[in-house]
Structure 1
């Protein structure tokens, strides 16, 4: 959690997670920044046809932003959106991959929705920001297995960063190291435990390798560890995320499922 009263840097790295209209000419942005985590920002005049911000404030594009004072109701553009909202002074493109398309676009919005629903505001996670930036280019992969491994690796990193993932190298109930040759399952309620008959299972070795990759910090290493475990990981992580999201279902996942049914 950010230290109370700490001064934010003048220039911050950011991604646009979501935006919505505030007035006829302005937008409220939900930004994911490396320095402050998820923050709400008002972009005054961003909807005007001649605004330079229109071509910059796009999802999945790394940008640099400068921010100023919190928005007040006396600023003359309607009711103040809340005490946490600050004003965008400027933004410029900071490099990155092109806008995703097709399945990659849905996957990108899926990542954004996870961050919107699971990250508290003003709670910085620099490692998660770097993981997000590293994952976006992988969504363009022609190999579906590669893009799926990237998604699973990001889900694991996200759950770890927000304190919702147990140590995968230990039996959660006993806190003893896993037997590398035995099978285990991962649940939101009990952590790493012996598997039920119909549950997705992982070898102790596979879970230890996932934990080692998480501790190493390399998204490439984590994706490599996820690659041979994709079916079981997808089902397991879906269960963990569903449990922690509670009554906040993921809309992008449902859209993807509905679209796949039409294509099938």
Structure 2
């Protein structure tokens, strides 16, 4: 039997955790160099465990683990330390962070590295921990959704109609739909953006991959965050599949109160 390989001092965030036994947890983590990794945290629920106070979502960690199985399997957590830097988000910023975690859980394949996307996520979580709330969050979330979809190959080109590859006309209206990509908006479409706005977003995404693209995409998203919200949410839900995103349902429930 081959010896277990050890990964040390790996930047990571906990996306989700669930009970494994009376005293242990299974963690879904997002790591910088190895992507989404499943880890078994033995004894993490014990009051005396060193893991207990640090294995929290939206907190920067440095983890060590032993790769004890094949690709995509659950590995054994050996160490975890809080890396510092910001406090836990609260209120709607916390809910927004959990929404991003659920997207990463549902859309990223196990152990498919996305270092640039990880760096973008780190920056967004810092913004959330810095007290961003309300309407300020909208362009932050829309820009992350765009960068995420592009990173995993699910975002169509935003400078042409998807079906025909005809270049967008700046003055025309276009809508992004889950099944067909970008197409001319019709009278029944609830949300759309002008060709000029889509072209600006396309240009921002071309400025660089991952972290390099995010500031430009954030600026381009600011003016159209409201129009992008419904379109991107539909695309994301389509690729996540059923059921409805739990954080999305919670947001809807809170808005209806």
TM-score normalised to the size of structure 1?
A: 0.87
The whole-number CA distance in structure 2 between the counterparts of 1:23 and 1:239 is 36
Aligned-pair CA distance for 1:201: 1.8
Aligned residues of 1:11 and 1:67 also touching (Cα < 8 A):
no
Aligned-pair CA distance for 1:168: 0.5
Aligned-pair CA distance for 1:96: 3.0
Aligned residues of 1:181 and 1:203 also touching (Cα < 8 A):
yes
Which structure 2 segments of 5+ residues have no match?
A: none
Aligned-pair CA distance for 1:83: 7.2
Matched residue SS, 2:158: coil
* CA spacing shift, 1:224–1:141, aligned 2, 3 Å: farther
Which structure 1 segments of 5+ residues have no match?
A: 1-6, 73-81
Aligned residues of 1:145 and 1:227 also touching (Cα < 8 A):
no
Q: Is it true that 1:171 corresponds to 2:161 in the alignment?
A: yes
Q: Which residue of 2 aligns with 1:85?
A: 74
Aligned residues of 1:56 and 1:92 also touching (Cα < 8 A):
yes
Q: Which residue of 2 aligns with 1:15?
A: 13
- What is the CA RMSD across the aligned residues, in angstroms? 2.0
The whole-number CA distance in structure 1 between the counterparts of 2:69 and 2:41 is 10
TM-score normalised to the size of structure 2?
A: 0.89
Matches within 5 A, 1:99-118: 99-118=88-107
Deviations 1:203-238 (A, max 9, x none): 111111111222223322211111110221011111
Aligned-pair CA distance for 1:248: 2.9
The whole-number CA distance in structure 1 between the counterparts of 2:85 and 2:52 is 17
Aligned residues of 1:155 and 1:237 also touching (Cα < 8 A):
yes
The whole-number CA distance in structure 2 between the counterparts of 1:11 and 1:194 is 49
The one of 185, 197, 220 equivalent to 1:206 is 197
Q: Which residue of 2 aligns with 1:60?
A: 58
Deviations 1:106-157 (A, max 9, x none): 1111111111111111111112111111111333544522211111111111
Aligned-pair CA distance for 1:86: 0.7
Aligned residues of 2:92 and 2:133 also touching (Cα < 8 A):
no
Matches within 5 A, 1:242-261: 242-261=237-256
Aligned residues of 2:72 and 2:110 also touching (Cα < 8 A):
no
The whole-number CA distance in structure 2 between the counterparts of 1:259 and 1:174 is 41
